[in-house]
Structure 1
Amino acid sequence: MTKDEVLAEFRDAGALLEGHFILSSGLRSPVFLQKMFIFQDPVRTERLCKALAEKAQAAFGTIDVVVSPAVGGIVPGYETARHLGAKAIFVEREDGRFRLRRGFEIPEGARVLMVEDIITTGLSSRECIAAIREHPGTLVGAACLIDRSGGSASIGVDLVSLAQLDIPTYSPDALPPELAAIPATKPGSRGLKA
């Protein structure tokens, strides 16, 4: 699947938004990728994750276990694992740190792939990788649908993505005038109140 085909999937799903957005990192951006609009469509999700599985397998070989960060990584992690013929598990926050819970285990000798949805700064990926490394098994690499850092996010392992974008981000006190003129919205899930 080409970068243009991946972006077409996001556009067609209404998941490529333009405006002034507050990202989960606190940074601001003129573009937001609302991946949940992708994940509400099982057929679209399958197309993207099948392509991601093929790319990950070509880069890393056989995968036994896919580990993803909850909540956003669960759907692409599961669907990518399905196409890899691998087990799908996820980490969750406990006392502020990602950990395997629910009886999930990584067996000794297992070849592990970390799968994310969208990578911007790489923080949640690094936290997920740190949790994976607390268990036996061999972390072979990471995969994501879109790397919006343009390849600059360092996560500590080799990363493959379906599309690499260089979408600018800004600290709230260093916005360009055209972005500062638009009211900011926070469309992501972090910080949602019940």
Structure 2
Amino acid sequence: MTEEEILAEFRAADALLEGHFLLSSGRHSAHFLQCARLLMNPERASKIAIAIAQKIPRELRSEIRAVVSPAMGGLIIGHEMGRALGVDAMFVERPDGVFGLRRGFSLEPGTKVLMMEDVVTTGLSGREAISAIHEAGGEVIAAGAVVDRSGGTVELGIPFFPLIELNFPTYAPDELPPELAKSEAVKPGSRK
């Protein structure tokens, strides 16, 4: 899929929002990509996952034995990546503030894992998920995402395969431009 085709999918799903948003990273932005809306259509979600899977080199793709994604945002794309790769998909969640496997999910020691997210901005959730996967015995060999909002600057310590890289500006709370500062931030993400 080309960048324009991907953005057309976001627009068709009313998933490219404009306003004043407080991101999960704690930063502010005038743009928000609502991947849940993008992925609510199973056919579209499958097409997106297949496109991401095709970005992962074949030799690396053949090693992946499980997909693990952070809840909440990564659930749908993680499941679809599991389908695209023909492996189980599970998720880590943080009911007490720290990611971990629950619900009977487990990894055999050394299981090679793809950590899958919807949107990456600073990489904080991804790094936390990777840590939880390692604690559960998995070996994260690659990460994927629908969108890399960092414009290619995020560092996860492993090969990273986003479907699209976008660089919508983000701002610390004390750096807000006047047009954002005059409006209340909406928090549409999954982190409290």
TM range (shorter): over 0.9
Aligned amino acid, residue 12 of structure 1: A
CA–CA distance in structure 1, aligned partners of residues 43 and 157 of structure 2:
32
Residues 29 and 168 in structure 2, CA contact (< 8 A), matched pair in contact too: yes
> What RMSD in Å do the two structures reach over aligned CA positions?
1.6
Residues 13 and 37 in structure 1, CA contact (< 8 A), matched pair in contact too: yes
Aligned amino acid, residue 47 of structure 1: K
Residues 53 and 81 in structure 1, CA contact (< 8 A), matched pair in contact too: no
More displaced stretch, 82-91 vs 21-30: 21-30
State the Cα distance separating 1:186 from its structure 2 match: 2.0
Quote the residue 1:148 is aligned against.
149
State the Cα distance separating 1:158 from its structure 2 match: 1.5
Quote the residue 1:5 is aligned against.
5
State the Cα distance separating 1:57 from its structure 2 match: 4.8
State the Cα distance separating 1:109 from its structure 2 match: 4.0
State the Cα distance separating 1:55 from its structure 2 match: 1.6
Segments of 4+ moved more than 3 angstroms: none
Aligned amino acid, residue 96 of structure 1: G
Quote the residue 1:97 is aligned against.
98
What SS class does the counterpart of residue 142 from structure 1 fall into?
A: strand
CA–CA distance in structure 2, aligned partners of residues 72 and 183 of structure 1:
23
State the Cα distance separating 1:127 from its structure 2 match: 0.4
Residues 117 and 145 in structure 1, CA contact (< 8 A), matched pair in contact too: yes
Residues 125 and 155 in structure 1, CA contact (< 8 A), matched pair in contact too: yes
Within-5 A mapping of 1:15-30 = 15-30=15-30
Quote the residue 2:137 is aligned against.
136
Aligned amino acid, residue 136 of structure 2: H
What SS class does the counterpart of residue 99 from structure 2 fall into?
A: strand
Q: Deviations over 1:113-154 (max 9, x none)?
A: 100000011111000000111133432110000000111122
Aligned amino acid, residue 162 of structure 1: L
State the Cα distance separating 1:181 from its structure 2 match: 3.4
Which consecutive residues of structure 2, in runs of 5 or more, have no partner in the other structure?
none
> TM-score when scaled to structure 2?
0.92
Residues 20 and 28 in structure 1, CA contact (< 8 A), matched pair in contact too: yes
Judged with a 3 Å threshold, the aligned counterparts in structure 2 of structure 1 residues 49 and 4 are, in CA distance, closer, same or farther, namely same
Quote the residue 2:81 is aligned against.
80
CA–CA distance in structure 1, aligned partners of residues 129 and 53 of structure 2:
19
Aligned amino acid, residue 36 of structure 2: M
Aligned amino acid, residue 8 of structure 1: A
> TM-score when scaled to structure 1?
0.91
